[in-house]
Amino acid sequence: MRKALPSKLAFGIFDHLDEDGGDIARQYADRLRLAEACDRLGFYAYHLAEHHCSPHGRSPSPNLFLSSVAQRTRRLRLGPLTMLLSLCHPLRAFEEICML
């Protein structure tokens, strides 16, 4: 039998916040706990998509939510999965992402 090669495969979360009919504060708290668990389990990254006026529209400002995730995690790499640059000045988007 051959010896297994070491793996550099990393896992991450690509997330969006669905309108599920529930309390939005509870949903945010649940997602923060998910990110904390991912950090403890050794996941590589957590990304959140930006959505407006859609069934996935509970994340209109991914950077704001990700800053809260950053306060609760130690190793996760964070980033917005999508940003609607037509709604945000590119320089501001760049600066916010750099702050994360």
pTM more than 0.85: no
Q: Is residue 93 part of a domain?
A: yes
Q: Is residue 89 part of a domain?
A: yes
Domain limits for position 48: 14-99
Opening angle at CA 19, ends 40 and 72, nearest 5: 25
Cα dihedral: 16, 9, 74, 77 (round 10):
-50
Q: Is residue 91 part of a domain?
A: yes
pLDDT tens sequence across 19-74: 888 899 999 999 999 999 999 999 999 999 988 888 778 888 899 999 999 999 99
Number of domains in the chain: 1
Q: Is residue 76 part of a domain?
A: yes
